[in-house]
Structures are given as C-alpha cells and as structure tokens.
Chain A
C-alpha cells in the first residue's frame, strides 16, 4: 500500500463524528486525481485510506473511490488495463457481494467501472475530438443511490468536467433499461459537452451502491478552488452522502 503523495497538511475535518468512516482511494500508475479525491473525503469529514492497485486486500475500508487520470496512459482503451489489477478483483467482488460496498468511479474511474462490467456501456472520444475542461451543470436524476442521497431529486449542481474520452455510449436496449430502472443518476444540463447518449453524465448499478460519472465532484469541494458558480462546493454532497450512510448504518 502506498502513502498518497500529498503536499501540505490535511485540512481539519468539519464533521468529527464521520472520522471513523474510512473511504479508500485507489491509485493506479497514471492516476491523477487521487490526492484530490482524498482531500474531498477529508473535507467531507471522513478518513481517506490510500489503496494501491497491486494490493490484494481492501484494508477494511467502508467505501471506495476510483479517481480520474490516465491509468496506464489509456493508450489502449481507457480503463482496459486497470480493470485487471489485483485490487479491482477485490472491489468487483465486494461491490457485488451482499455487503454492497459503495464504489464511486470518477472520469477514468467510471471508465474502469464499465470495463469491469460493474456498470454497463462504455466511453468513447468526445464528439468534438478535443480534451475539454469546463464548469459543467448536471441534474441529479436519482438521489436514491448511496452517493447522491444528500442531494434533492432534480437538483442542479456545477462541477468541473475535464476529459478527452467522455462520450457515454450503450445500445438502445441498455439505455432504455437504465432509464426505466432510474439508473441514470446525472444528466448534462444546458449543453451536452461530449455527445453522450441521452445527455447521460453518470449512472449506477441496479443496487445503487456503484456510481460512475465523467465530471469531477472531488474538484468542487472547497471554496476558491472549484467552479466559480455558487460556493464552488456542489460536489461535496457525493462524499457526505456516503459518509452519512456508512455512519448511520453503523449506529
């Protein structure tokens, strides 16, 4: 297991009662947003635990975040190699088990989750063929998942979007099923930034413990370091949602 290479100290937890909840943050070679995901966990009040892709155990974490980046350079298909990491087997098993380990995949993490078949569909290159970094408005379509319960249904939030391969695709049957089962968790609002089918920005598995999305909630957790709209902290709800669920469940 690796220690996350942080610069600076850890911000003080805002909700001390959540500190007992441990959220694992996975680092693959080429992962970029691991320190950011760990910071988001801490700012939400939880304890971030660094997980290394080659680990063969989950270190008793209560939830897992697979952060963004270009794991293995994404030279093949995004996420296609990472899916075979030893730790991914543990995560897949735990997510599918009765314990239903909460798993959030952000950007490259979402791509890894689809490659792992924890979530359906796939991501291809943005329809405009360029990397795009912007503040993106999303609508929370489903607030019943473990990662969205602190949001209102239909709430619009602004979080950064930054990727090259963000166009979500699946066959119509899969898309219809996702819609029918309420598994479209986020939709792009105002403008579809990458050509994703049905404006889908994020989806969940049937049980609602596994959520993946292309935009980056971990970059909207601290005023002054995120989007300029609102306080720039619209992404914090992902992490408080799962922490409250974990702590609530333990009580």
Chain B
C-alpha cells in the first residue's frame, strides 16, 4: 500500500458534484451522520440534487444541534429582542459573532464568552477540558483581542463516586496543563458536586480578552481575489463525528477504522498562534479571520463566505495533513485544534508569510474569495462542494420543539424542606449550630476549592488584581489608569430544577451580585445553557422557561447577553441533569486598585449585613446536605439586587468599605466563615437584632439562602457615612458584629465558639481527602 498524494486522490472514488447529479439514487449515510429524514430531504431540496459525500459531511455537522442551535434558536431570540437602548449603549458587537464586544471606555473594548465542553470531558477528561480552554481562547483571538484570563465552572458527580475522581483529576489537570501553558491566569470558576452530573459532568470554560476599538475583527470574507489561508496545526483525524461511516467510503480497509472523537490539544501551538495572530492584527494583515472549532473547515469556510459579500473557492488537497489517508469529508469535518482561517489581500501575502515564518507556524493557501455567491470546494480541481454558504451556516433547520410543564413539577414544589423527614432534628442548641456550621463549610460544595485552584497559574500576565476565592476575578486592562474588568460565573441547578424561570434569574442575580461585590459595575452577560434532551418536552420546558427568565432578568438589570452557548442532550438514558444555565457577568472597574476583597483584615471594623432574611431553605445547601430537594427556590427581587449592587459599587468607589462578600449558597453561615478564613481574621457576631427584625430563628438566620444580601466591613471613620447612604436609599442594613483580628476565632452569639484553625482544617480537608 502506498500513501502518496497521487494514489490517495484516486482511491477515494471522489464523489463530485457532477457525479452526484448523475447518480441521484445513490444511498448516502445521512442517518448515521445524525441527520433526520426531513433534514436530508431539505438538503436535497436546497441543492436541487442529492449532496455529494463532502457536502453531506458539511451539512450534517453544520446542521447539528451543537452548530445550528436548531432546538433553542426560537427561544434564544429573546436575548436579542428584550434589549433596551441603555443595554445597547456599550455593546460594540452583539450575539452572532465569535464573541460579543463591550465598550470599556478610553478606547478599550473587552470580549468574553463562555462555552461548554461537556461530553468530550466525560469521555476523556484531560483532553476534553484542555481543548475546551483552547476553543474558547481562539474565539477571543478571532475578535482581534488579546486573551487575558480564563475561568472554569465545573459540575461533577457525587464526590464519593469512584468515577468522579477520574473526571476530577483529568479535567483539572487538563485545564491547568493547557491554560497554564498559554500564559493566561485562571481567575475563578465554580465546583459543584451532585450525582445528577455523574454521567454528564459539565465542563464549561470562559475566556476574556481585551483590545483597542480599532482592533476589532470580524469573521467575514470580503473582497474578490483576496486569498484564503489556513494556518496553525495540521489537520488530523481527531474530533471527527461519525467518521466511521465516511471512512467506509474508502475502499482501503487497512486504515484505522475508529478515529478518536475527542480532539487532542497542543497548548504550545495555541500559545504561538495567539502571539502570531496578534502580530497579524497589529500589522492589519488580515481582512477577516475565523477560528476552527466545532465542524472545522466546514464551519470556517461557510461562515466566512456567508458573512462576507461573495463566495469562496477552496482546493481541499492544499490542506496540510497530519494523516494523509483522510478523505475529503473527514478533512471538512475534522476538529483538529489550534487552527485558524484568514482572508488576506494579495498585497499582504508576503508580510503575512513573514509573520508565519517568524513564529514557525505552518500555513497553506487554500483558495480565494469570489463574487459568485457560491462556496466551491475542489479536490484536485474536481468540484466536490458547490453550495450557497448561507444554506450551510445559517439556514439550517429550526424546530419548535413541543414543551410542557412537567407533571411532577407541582408535587416537587409542594414538598418543602421545613417539616420534611429530612428536617427532623434541625440544629438549635449552641453546640448543634456550631457543629452544623462546621459540617456545612466542610461539605463538598462549600469546602475550600484550593486543591483545584492551586493547580492553576493565577499570576501570569501580572494583571490579576483578584482571583478565587474572592467573589469575582479582577484583571487590569490598562496599566496607566488601572482600568479593569471583573468576572463571575454562577448557576444553581437545584434552584433551576425547582423553578426554571426563577432559577435562571437567580444565577444571573448571583453573578451580578458577585461582580458588584468586587466593586465593579456589571455591563454584560454570557451564558452557557446546559440542559438534557430537547426532544423531552419536560426538558424543553426547562430550557424555554430558563431562557425566558434569564432574558427578562437581563432587561430588568440592564445587562445584555453578548454571546454564549447551548449544550443539550446532557442526560444519561432518560434522566437529564438538573437544568444548569451557567451565567457569566462582566463588570468594569475604573481602577482595579479600588476592588473589594472578601476577607476581613482590620481589627475593630464594623460588620454590616445588607438585605433581609426570610425562611428560605428550599433548594439550599443545608437541605442538600440532608438529602432533600423540593419546594421553591429563594425569591428573586431584581430591583433589590440592583439597589444592593449600587450600594456596593458606590461604597467601594468612595472608600466606605474594606471587604464585601455576597450571601448565596450556604447563606450567612458560609459567608461569615469564608470572610474570616480569607486572611485568617475572625469576628464577634451577634444576630439577635436580625432574628427579631426579620422574624426568623437563629438557624434560619444562618442557613437561609435569601437573595439580595451581602456582608461588608466598614472602617469606623466611614460608619456614619455608610449608614446614611443605606438609609437614604432605603436599603435594609444591620450592624451584626465587629472584626476581631487577635482572637483567632469566629464568635457568634448563641453558637459555640468556632476557632479559625478548626474551621480552616475542616474547610481545607475535604477535597484532599477524596482526591489526594
């Protein structure tokens, strides 16, 4: 057997357009490639003939759920429709491009996006998580931005399940191994353990990048005669979905029959690609650029062409290959990592090549932009694809999937925690309450995540002003002025399971609150909607309700969604994950030096609780610890969230507070312990007034997860001013204690004394206990 290019070309029995027109009845493996009968019929209708093998490959991947959003598109429209003028003000690029772009002022712009890499991370956790980082970072580069930080919200199965360690070790090492090698600080994320994610772990990745306004780049191919170039890593057989079918087109049965469906990452190639692209942007050497992610060359060519003003002609044998036995269809579908496609004017070819040579990046010129309105792909000159690129990239099927409120929703919502079997023996004595606090902060979801975060480089770049475990990650953008951004991601699958509409709003409220807690003004939202199968009306209802809730809440808080991703079919058999809309909020700080950390430092500062507490234990971490999930999630009050945010932002800007921590999962108990452990500085707390004012018992005061709350530490000199501000705004505020730097303990009236050493040990021991 030989693999020379000449014989390779022949042995494929290339299915040309001409051949397809002549052989309408040829059986095609459309079902194996994931197309439905109606979808295949639509392809035939669009083309006026049967598709060639290569065309079928393109349509099948581009019309997949992942690429076309066919089940969610009708609902996602709300993000674009529920937008006020206020929300559009700072949006430079909205949904639809690789990532949205927001104006930061002073000529700066920021782009960020969150995406899922769930299924690959279950199959092969290291590479799945690593390439998740790689893909989202290339989206950011494609906009013309320098990536400056990453974050990683993770949701795994039960902490004590034997398979969780496999996913945990692999995913964390993959995120670290890839992200650390790119020189991007990892500034935060989430870690949730819940058995609903056992067979469907959620590995989401967020990247943020910054640029000057004039550097914004869009993915389009314009200008007849401009050249199309593919550069970066070579194209290999990794990440081909359904490739075994296409491979059977070949008569060569000696080639590997199974290709890995998970891509393999090379962070070094990506790092070089980042620097190389930034140099191209600086020299204005590319007219349009697109990263190669899902659906590889199929996606890049069809999107570039359809977003431009004409067509494109590409010779597929010019693609540099890692594996010379790849068929045209496989080349079009390959999801090999670290590749980019760009459009370059003939006059810039030499300069473009000089940049490639400097960074030792391989490239090949594939073809050029045309004015025919057609995407033509040839194989040794023979036409194997001749399509209107819009039909591939944008005119995929759209489904109005049936959805209905699940029959079980009412009974779940009626099953409240208070009074349930699991609520028996609720802690009430001082000893029981102390034990409960210790149990809570050692629990899988509330314990220290340092085991994970210490495997990530948070320093590289020298601009990290704040990172995990503070409420938000903060990165400086401009070294002269201190201008910077804050980012937080949040989701609560339990809340969203109980009530998808409000659960999604709660995710946004928490991320918004986290950003405001750091002192930043929330500006934009990116969301990663992780759900089960859209073909299940129950799940489809969860998705529809979540999108409706999230888009309503975005409008009320005045923060637009600028991009994101939908991940469906996250279910094992017929059992879906909890609906998990992960919401990322980006905020702006005029000077990152003014950021507010979560931990107490100065002895004698007053600790205030902002907001009020109701008996809201349903869906809480405490009820989770007792094995209960039912009732209704905490009440959402977005105008309250907005007021709280303004107080936190103003107080930070005017130097009225030195520390702030939002109250969310684990309630006041978790927040107090976290603020104390941050710098090892304790406090004396009395909740008697709170208990009386809000009409709750001490246990509820500590463990309720009522929203719109935060604790802040206020210097004595600022106390009057701070109180006056809260009073003037009519926002509930209560002095609940004082920072005690020398005591080494957290004293709460009515609760046995908690030494910081013991709390720290309990908080830190959990992840090492399970993961070494």
Contact = CB atoms under 8 A, between A and B. Distances in A.
A75 B279 CA distance: 25
Given A5-B275, A30-B268, A73-B267, A131 B177 contact: yes
Interface in B438-458: 453-458
Centre residue among B453, B460, B462, B476 by max chain A CB count within 10 A: B462
Given A29-B272, A30-B271, A133 B479 contact: no
Interface of B: 146, 148, 173, 176-177, 180-183, 210, 266-269, 271-272, 275, 278-279, 358-360, 453-465, 476-480, 592-593, 679
Contacts of A133: 453-459
Given A5-B275, A8-B479, A69-B183, A39 B360 contact: no
Contacts of A9: 478-480
Contacts, number: 105
A222 B358 CA distance: 32
Contacts of B456: 131, 133
Contacts of B464: 225
B360 A29 contact: yes
A8 B591 CA distance: 13
A36 B278 CA distance: 18
14 contacts: A5-B146, A8-B478, A9-B478, A9-B480, A30-B272, A32-B460, A35-B461, A36-B462, A39-B462, A70-B268, A73-B181, A131-B173, A164-B180, A222-B462
Given A8-B476, A133-B456, A32 B271 contact: yes
B675 to A, nearest CB: 15
Nearest to A160: B459
Contact of B267 (A39, A70, A132, A134): A70
Interface residues of A, number: 38
A141 B3 CA distance: 61
Majority SS at the chain B contact face? mixed
B368 to A, nearest CB: 30
A11 interface: yes
Contact of A134 (B271, B454, B460, B461): B454
A160 B458 CA distance: 10
A144 interface: no
Contact of B593 (A7, A164, A216, A224): A224
B560 to A, nearest CB: 25
A132 B146 contact: no
A83 interface: no
B350 to A, nearest CB: 18
Given A7-B148, A7-B210, A70-B181, A29 B359 contact: yes
A70 B459 CA distance: 15
Interface of A: 2, 5, 7-11, 29-30, 32-33, 35-36, 39, 54, 69-70, 72-75, 130-134, 160, 162, 164, 216, 218-219, 221-222, 224-226, 228
Contacts of B458: 133
Contacts of A70: 180-181, 267-268, 271
Contacts of A221: 462
A9 B463 CA distance: 13
A73 B268 contact: yes
Nearest to B169: A130
A54 B354 CA distance: 14
Contact of A75 (B268, B360, B461, B463): B268
B477 A8 contact: yes
A39 B478 CA distance: 13
A29 B268 contact: yes
Nearest to A34: B183
A134 B454 CA distance: 6
B458 to A, nearest CB: 6
A30 B359 CA distance: 10
Contact of A131 (B176, B210, B271, B465): B176
Given A35-B461, A219-B459, 15 more contacts: A2-B358, A7-B146, A29-B271, A29-B359, A32-B181, A32-B182, A32-B271, A32-B460, A75-B268, A131-B456, A132-B455, A162-B180, A219-B462, A224-B465, A226-B459
